Structure 1
Amino acid sequence: MSVRMTESIVALILFALVVPLAVLPWVHRQYRRFGRLRGWSAVVAAAGVLYGCGLVAFTLFPLPVVTPDFCAGRRFSDSWQLHPLASLDDILRDGSPALWQVLLNVVLFVPMGFLLRYRFGRGPVTSAVVGVLVSASVELVQGTAVLGLYPCPYRLADVDDVLTNTTGTVVGWLVAIPLARVLPPANAEHDPDLAPPGLPRRGLAFAGDLLVFELTQFAILVVMALSGGATRELAESPRFTALLSAGTLTFYTLVVPLLRTDRATPGQVVFHLALRRVGGGRAPWYAVLIRFAVWWLPVLALSFGWVALLTAVIAVPALLRRDRRSLLGLLSHTQTTTKAAARAGTDLPTPADDRSP
């Protein structure tokens, strides 16, 4: 496999990991602010998160192929363009290609200005300042070789990009004025979030746990691999990898819930879920142990097919029972509730409809 192909695969993997990692705080904030994750407000918020991830990708990718002569012959002017309006000379000299590049820089920041006014209610001055700061940060990262991670810059930091990006932010802010009159409100009304969480929401919390687990393990192994020497050899050992998996999973699904008053795993924290004793009160410590032994240990030890089968077995009671308790809840005498319901300390109602996302 070529070096360029390897770099492309690494970039794809990193982006696939970064996007969900950025989404988790957004999901948590959505539930904390509005008590729900659905409707137009969720679409607008998700668009903002994806736009931010796309901006990061535009700043960093494509990653270069670093060769022994990667920095040979590079001058300061190859990495930094500090003459304002120099792009006008490029347009006069090169014509349409240079013009399209300028227009692209304007369009790239139009969504930012739109969201700043439509979703966050910011004024024109604040929006313009945000556009300047974000654009300047992008150029700084490019001009400093991703803050020194590369031996020399592989993208051009251009002061004109700050000007065109800020222009795009202002244009987006202006576009939001008429569109805000016809679009639904960007922020939803608060939902009390007292209904029993449905299986989709609980399943997404489980996926969040797996994501946090995988990212932690991946980060540790990458740091060890970059350290070189014996540390790198240890990271490549299958036995160490297995121990790391067991330790990471145990920490997130056993230690963390035991330390928290709501007995929630990281994924449940993201989706504003809590575990409590049936009838009210804090779930006992042994309930966490039961859930860990019945669910998380098999997840670590079994293959994907067996885990899928176990998931179905555990979920069946939740589909049949009015209180939505799964087999884990029955065995541990606990109930998965929303965090708002746990704080209220009252028995959860059983709604006629499933209010899960």
Structure 2
Amino acid sequence: MTNAQLASIQWGLFLSVVFLLPQLFFRQLTWRSATITTYASMLFAATFLPMQTVPPRQAVQLVPFQWIADTFRDGQIAFDQMTLNVLLFVPLGAMLMFWGRRTVGQAALIGYGVSLLIEGSQLMWANRIFDVDDLITNTTGTALGWLGALAAVKVYARVKAVQVPRRELAGVR
């Protein structure tokens, strides 16, 4: 992990605390609000912080799957970056499945929209690159998060269904 990525994580945790304290103070803190606040803080920090002071050599990257060629050229760092982009949006997909009651297609479309908003904002205000690969990986991460949450729900339901008859056989209610 690079120093910039570690700094982003530290900023995300700091922002989470800053935004969670008022909720805690006014007794408005719930599990859902804490999760959403923490995720939004981490997402903001990972995509905007630390701010780049020097504009990038290239402002827009529109070649799909360019990260593969970058991995061969630059090594592991390009692969790690794409992996982190996928992982960054997995929680969004899970939240949309659990709380948003969205289909996988709707979740992927929302993930794409959020990613497009972030990429456009990075280009305009953060001196970062608008990268079509980020749109692809972020959307993929959202869909994978939704599918993972669905799998977790199905496994949980299956485990619960198996546990109920065992209790009844033992005479426990």
The correspondence of residues 47-62 of structure 1 with structure 2, limited to 5 A, is: 47-62=35-50
**What's the counterpart of residue 20 of structure 1?**
19
1:118 aligns with 2:98: yes
1:139 to 119, 122, 125: 119
More helix by share: 2
Offset of residue 124 of structure 1: 0.9
Offset of residue 23 of structure 1: 6.4
2:77 to 63, 72, 97: 97
Q: Let me know the Cα RMSD of the aligned residues.
A: 3.1
**What's the counterpart of residue 326 of structure 1?**
none
Offset of residue 16 of structure 1: 4.2
Any stretches of 5+ residues in structure 2 without a counterpart? 1-6, 158-173
Contact 2:20 2:37 survives alignment (8 Å): no
Name the CA distance, whole Å, in 1 between partners of 2:73 and 2:63.
16
Instruction: Describe the SS at the equivalent of 2:64.
Output: coil
Contact 1:113 1:168 survives alignment (8 Å): yes
Q: Say if 1:22 and 1:128 are closer, same or farther in 2 by CA, change over 3 A.
A: farther
Q: Say if 1:17 and 1:92 are closer, same or farther in 2 by CA, change over 3 A.
A: closer
1:172 aligns with 2:145: yes
Offset of residue 84 of structure 1: 1.3
Any stretches of 5+ residues in structure 1 without a counterpart? 1-7, 32-36, 147-152, 184-357
User: TM-score normalized by structure 1?
Assistant: 0.36
Offset of residue 21 of structure 1: 7.6
Name the CA distance, whole Å, in 1 between partners of 2:133 and 2:22.
31
Percent identical across equivalent pairs? 36
Name the CA distance, whole Å, in 1 between partners of 2:75 and 2:16.
39
Name the CA distance, whole Å, in 1 between partners of 2:100 and 2:136.
23
Code of the residue aligned with 1:158 in structure 2: it is D
The alignment of Structure 1 onto Structure 2 pairs a total of residues equal to 146
Contact 1:82 1:158 survives alignment (8 Å): yes
Code of the residue aligned with 1:161 in structure 2: it is D
The correspondence of residues 1-357 of structure 1 with structure 2, limited to 5 A, is: 16=15, 19-20=18-19, 24=23, 42-65=30-53, 70=54, 75=57, 78-146=58-126, 153=127, 155-181=128-154, 182=156
Code of the residue aligned with 2:130 in structure 1: it is A
Offset of residue 177 of structure 1: 0.9
Q: Say if 1:27 and 1:115 are closer, same or farther in 2 by CA, change over 3 A.
A: farther
Offset of residue 54 of structure 1: 0.9
Contact 2:20 2:34 survives alignment (8 Å): no
Name the CA distance, whole Å, in 2 between partners of 1:22 and 1:164.
32
Instruction: Describe the SS at the equivalent of 1:47.
Output: helix
Higher RCO by CA contacts (8 Å cutoff, separation 6 or greater): 2
Offset of residue 17 of structure 1: 8.9
Moved over 6 A (4+): none
